[in-house]
Amino acid sequence: MCEPIDPKATEVDAVLTHPPLSFAIRLIPLLAVFAAPLCASAQPAEYEVGASLVCDTQSQAERFVALFSGDAHAAIDAVNAEEHDPTACALINAAYLRGSHVGTARHGDNAFEIVRILVVGIDTPVGIQAVQPSAVFLAVRRQGIRGVTR
């Protein structure tokens, strides 16, 4: 068992000579960091569900846009072939949390917003099935942007 703390000892002496107290004092800032999110607003995060073009990296999403000329499947197949990865880019029905906007990619009359997302589920015929969260890049086609080339 631990020895009692000398009532005449200073706080610094107590910390240095009483290991459990020393550990507890060092643990307080760490606990504060972990407790802070619990004190924040308890609003649930809003997720989106739908058919989405996703790629593993931002550069793959940008490459998809550069190759896109109306046929999404052909552009996806071309990116996946270049990457030697059949799943680098894909069209999926997913449930995801939208993250930060990382850019806009353009090719001809087409413009796509590139957004980092966190996929949390896959939409199946029996409903949304949870998956291990995965950060990927979403390419969302924007309408009404004309005459801008990249």
Mean of the per-residue pLDDT values of the chain:
77
> 126 pLDDT exceeds 50?
yes
Residue 27 structure tokens: 């643990």
Beta carbons of 93 and 138 less than 8 angstroms apart:
no
Q: What is the pLDDT of residues 84-107, one digit of tens each?
A: 999 999 999 999 999 999 999 998
Asked whether 133 and 45 are in contact (CB, 8 A), the reply is: no
Measured between alpha carbons, how far is 62 from 97 in angstroms, rounded to an integer?
Answer: 20
Question: pLDDT tens across 139-149, in order?
Answer: 998 875 443 33
The dihedral sign for the CA sequence 25, 26, 32, 35: negative
Q: Using the predicted structure, report yes or no on whether residue 81 has a pLDDT greater than 90.
A: yes
